[in-house]
Amino acid sequence: MYLVTGYEPFDDHERNPSATLAETFDGRRVGGTAVVGRVLPVVFGEAESEMESLLDEYDPDAVVMTGLAPERTAVCLERIAINVDDTITVPDNAENEPEAQPIDEGGPDARFATLPVGECVESLLEDGIPARLSNTAGTHLCNHLTYVTLGLLEGRAGEQSRAGGDGGDDGAGGDGGDADAGGDGGDADAGSQAPVGVPAGFVHLPYTPKMAASEAAAGNAHRGGEVPPSLPLETQRRALEVVLETVSE
């Protein structure tokens, strides 16, 4: 099962295309795999808590998080999430405004996406969809959720690896001595290797044309103001489908 998440509207936006996409994919199948789509609150603690509950409930084979990024000119696959929260000028929907706060005091400085982000971008471009690899997910909730989710999945993979390596004296993953393939017999201990986790990552989406038009109107486009970039919702839907198809290959 693949888990797809989006966000509720935030700031002064009346809609969020990521929420629409999560609802659209919920109950569908991509590449023969069922998809569960959920819309998360734009509140730091609540989004993190809901994601942890979803991972526990569904134990997904891949996690694709999505969110709106105004001014992005293309679909962006995020390479990395960093260990800092800073809303800068836009508080979350509960008016939380962290400034230069670590997400996890004892955590690594950054965590890399485990989705095949480069391959996803290549697939999107081959499908005629503007896309690029992004080296920053910002420091708001999108970055926060990515960092936390990757950590949760890493921890779950580690637990499963340790459980699989505690099989007793006679198992291939057992604790049975020097000659044991997965045993506790020295430098070749498979249990000490970094576990292979569930593919997970974040996809940032531009405005839809309707949203861009609304922003342009508010920005006095009729007097020469700027029009922000946008992609039709159907193109965004296809982009997410391509990402899921790439993961399933």
Q: What's the pLDDT at 217?
A: 95
Q: Count of alpha carbons within 13 Å of 31, Cβ hemisphere only?
A: 15
Instruction: Give all domains of the chain, ordered by start, each with its CATH number.
Output: 2-167+190-248 (3.40.630.20)
Name the 3-class secondary structure at 6: strand
Residues 6+ apart with CB under 8 A from 7: 16, 18, 19, 39, 40, 41, 42, 47, 66, 67, 68, 141
The pLDDT value given to residue 155: 87
pLDDT < 70 stretches in the chain: 158, 160-196
Position 71 scores a pLDDT of 87
Instruction: Give me 52's structure tokens.
Output: 């942890």
- What's residue 149's pLDDT? 97
Cα 221 from Cα 49, distance rounded (Å): 41
Query: Can you name the residues that pair with 213 across neighbouring β-strands?
Result: none
- Strand partners for 40: 7
pLDDT digits (tens, 9 = 90+) for 86-131: 999 999 999 999 999 999 999 999 999 999 999 999 999 999 999 9
pLDDT of residue 158: 67
pLDDT recorded at residue 32: 94
Nearest to 114 by CA among 230, 7, 196, 232: 196
Q: What is the pLDDT of residue 175?
A: 44
What amino acid is encoded at 216 in this protein?
A: A
